[in-house]
């Protein structure tokens, strides 16, 4: 029987997979402070600020869309082991309370956007709803970092000095990032500072750094744009001479490809809005994500 060896290989692989599945609920396996973050950007901030004292699991991982997230049943087991849950707030995680209820436990929940002045959307789909994408303004990310640090200090008082030191270091990096973005955008002629993205994820960014934004769908990716929405946007792009259209990392690029083709606007590449790339990608952390976005914007918009 020439196929005996491969069959044993398959058995071994199956056993390894089984072991992996059985160990999955033990995502937390140390005496560090056990944290759950609702999505990849908050998970990165929590790791930066918590350092060696914390273990962090993200519910919505890299390259995944939090708007359309449907929690898997085993994720309530991850929450059951957490001491602290870090969420964005501003209606970004409508699924979170149900997931916490399903866990049968009551971990502390903090909203990193507390204290941010929210944009209220004027877009047709949810007029007056808060825009959740506050992290796209680095000044807001500094507020997130302070809120997360306070929560870490309450949950793990022995680590207070470490958390304060981590915040000080991280905040210096955030201030440098903010200055870098400001200087880059300021170097562009005003008529070039216009872009189209799939959904309205960059309004805080545009407000903070002077970039005009258009999008065929609103604050959430749940809605599909109508043919009229798309036709209206195409007219706007042509009328305003918008130089570039960008795809977003966690969203199907089909619509943006179509809009670029119909308007003659340049396809500017990829922007990261609501999710990091995986660790080896160009946007593995909040800071490198913002840097990758600036690089893509400058490449597409510099005359």
Query: Which residues bind to Zn ion, rule: CB under 5 A?
Result: 201, 274
Shortest Å, Cβ 141 to Zn ion: 16
Provide, rounded to whole angstroms, the least separation between the CB of residue 251 and Zn ion: 9
- 271 sits in which H/E element: strand 266-271
Pairwise CA distance, residues 42 & 27, whole Å? 17
Q: Which is nearer to Zn ion, 82 or 201 (CB)?
A: 201
Would you mind telling me the total number of residues written for the chain in this entry? 303
Q: Smallest Cα–Cα separation from 40: which of 54, 67, 61, 20? A: 61
Least distance from C-beta 54 to Zn ion, angstroms?
26
Q: Least CB distance from residue 199 to Zn ion, whole Å?
A: 5
Return the bridge partners of 170, or none.
none
| Both tokens assigned to 88 | 């964005």
Q: Which is nearer to Zn ion, 44 or 274 (CB)?
A: 274
Q: How far is the CB of 127 from Zn ion (least distance, A)?
A: 17
Instruction: State the nearest-atom distance from the C-beta of 132 to Zn ion, in Å.
Output: 7
Nearer to Zn ion, 69 or 209 (CB): 69
CB 123 within 8 A of CB 133: no
Tell me how far apart the alpha carbons of residues 11 and 7 are, in angstroms, rounded to a whole number: 6
Q: What is the DSSP letter of 257?
A: H
Strand spans (E) along 101-226: 108-111, 194-196, 212-214
Of residues 163 and 205, the one with the C-beta less far from Zn ion:
205
Considering the complex, state which of residue 223 and residue 234 has its C-beta at the smaller distance from Zn ion: 223
Q: Which residue has the tokens 């340049």?
A: 266
Are the C-beta atoms of residues 200 and 103 closer than 8 Å to each other?
A: no
* CA–CA distance, 146 with 140 (Å, rounded to integer): 10
Minimum CB distance to Zn ion smaller for 136 or for 166: 136
Q: Which is nearer to Zn ion, 201 or 260 (CB)?
A: 201
Distance in Å, CB of 181 to Zn ion, minimum: 19
* CA atoms of 269 and 249, how far apart (whole Å): 10
């Amino acid at each position: 029987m020439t196929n005996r060896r491969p069959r044993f290989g398959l058995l071994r692989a199956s056993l390894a997979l089984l072991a992996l599945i059985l160990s999955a609920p033990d995502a937390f396996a140390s005496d560090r402070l056990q944290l759950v973050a609702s999505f990849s950007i908050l998970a990165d901030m929590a790791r930066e600020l918590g350092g060696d004292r914390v273990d962090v699991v993200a519910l919505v991982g890299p390259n995944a869309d939090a708007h359309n997230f449907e929690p898997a049943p085993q994720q309530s087991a991850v929450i059951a082991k957490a001491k602290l849950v870090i969420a964005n707030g501003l209606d970004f995680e409508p699924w979170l309370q149900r997931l916490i209820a399903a866990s049968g436990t009551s971990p502390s929940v903090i909203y990193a956007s507390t204290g941010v002045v929210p944009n209220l959307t004027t877009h047709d789909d949810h007029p007056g709803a808060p825009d959740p994408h506050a992290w796209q303004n680095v000044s807001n990310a500094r507020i997130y970092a302070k809120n997360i640090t306070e929560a870490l200090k309450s949950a793990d008082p022995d680590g207070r000095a470490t958390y304060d030191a981590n915040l000080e270091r991280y905040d210096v990096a955030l201030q440098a990032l903010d200055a870098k973005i400001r200087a880059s955008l300021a170097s562009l002629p005003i008529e070039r500072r216009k872009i189209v993205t799939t959904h309205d994820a960059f309004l805080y960014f545009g407000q903070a750094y002077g970039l005009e934004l258009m999008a065929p769908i609103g604050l959430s990716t749940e809605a599909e744009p109508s043919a009229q929405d798309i036709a209206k946007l195409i007219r706007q792009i042509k009328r305003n001479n918008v130089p570039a259209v960008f795809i977003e990392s966690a969203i199907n690029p089909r619509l943006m490809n179509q809009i670029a083709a119909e308007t003659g606007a340049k396809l500017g590449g990829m922007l990261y809005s609501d999710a990091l790339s995986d660790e080896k990608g160009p946007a593995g952390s909040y800071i490198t994500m913002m840097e990758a976005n600036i690089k893509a914007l400058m490449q597409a918009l510099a005359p």
